[in-house]
């Protein structure tokens, strides 16, 4: 799991089970949270008009955004978490 997927998974876990610390959650619960996290990050792949509004160079902003989302989903071994590529 990448750092960003872990961050988002922990946030989802905190909402789903606010009374159990992450380190006490079972591996199945953590994996479900990670799947939800990957889906949430993937949903951010295309920036909205509101997100792009402050930028003069929309092409560059979209390109940088896509690179950041790809990085958030790329495992340390270089594989993309979305497809195992």
CA separation for the pair 84, 41 (Å, rounded): 16
For the chain, the domains span 3-73
User: In the beta sheet, which residues pair with residue 46?
Assistant: none
pLDDT of residue 81: 57
pLDDT of residue 85: 44
79 Rama class: left (phi>0) / alpha (psi -120 to 50) / beta: beta
**pLDDT tens across 13-55, in order?**
999 999 999 999 999 999 999 999 999 999 999 899 999 999 9
- Cα dihedral sign, 31-16-80-3: negative
Exposure class string for 3-31: b at 16+ Cβ within 10 A, else e: ebbeebbbebbeeeeeeeeeeebeeebbe
Contact 4, 72 (CB under 8 A): yes
């Amino acid at each position: 799991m990448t750092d960003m997927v872990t961050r988002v998974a922990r946030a989802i876990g905190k909402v789903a089970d606010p009374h159990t610390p992450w380190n006490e959650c079972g591996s199945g619960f953590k994996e479900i949270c990670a799947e939800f996290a990957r889906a949430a990050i993937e949903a951010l792949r295309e920036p909205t008009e509101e997100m792009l509004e402050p930028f003069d160079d929309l092409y560059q902003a979209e390109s940088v955004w896509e690179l950041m989302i790809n990085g958030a989903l790329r495992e340390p071994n270089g594989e993309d978490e979305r497809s195992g590529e």
